[in-house]
Structure 1
Amino acid sequence: MIVTTTNIIEGKKILEYRGIIFGEVISGVDFVKDIAAGLTNFFGGRSKSYESELIQAREQALRELENRASNVGANAVIGVDIDYEVLGQGGNMIMVTASGTAVVVE
């Protein structure tokens, strides 16, 4: 499966558009990671616990996007955009949404 942020795939001809698709993940940050991130915020530096949670959520959203593209008979996704949101009362949940156009390429 080809997944790209561009609207074309060099060397490939788009034969058919299968529609806009999405891959969404809402991930909660557990108590231990939240404490570790709080300490990082206090002392400074990078929050490895939040970074790893964000990386996992983004990878899962892209996998979901690929699965949905495959389900509609596409072999590529073009124009991919990834958005991030913070959710929950304490801001302890993140939502990652990947969207794009499912296409069939030669």
Structure 2
Amino acid sequence: MIMNIEHDKEKKIFSVVVDGVTAHVSYKLIDGGLDIRHTIVPDEIGGRGIASALVKAAYDYALENGYKPVATCSYAVVWLQRHPEYNGITGKDFGGEGTCAV
């Protein structure tokens, strides 16, 4: 599936609209890192790889701009574990499984 992922730097959100429904990841820039705080994919468009594509877009942007990939959202933590080539870290605010919605 081809997705038109958009980045709103001011709001610090990567988003995509699929079948009229919006999914997004939000982040904070902290201590030289891009920390994904929330990954939101509504149920009606879930299971299509949307969360993964959004997280990848955010971390690709981070690396292109000299930021360290950081994950506070539990989905992003697992994503970084599956993609060690990003050399990401778990954020200090990570509260364990279920700390963000997917």
What TM-score do the two structures reach when normalised by structure 2?
0.30
Give the structure with the higher percent helix: 1
Larger Cα-atom Rg:
1
Higher relative contact order (CA 8 A, sep 6+): 1
What is the TM-score normalised by the length of structure 1? Answer: 0.29
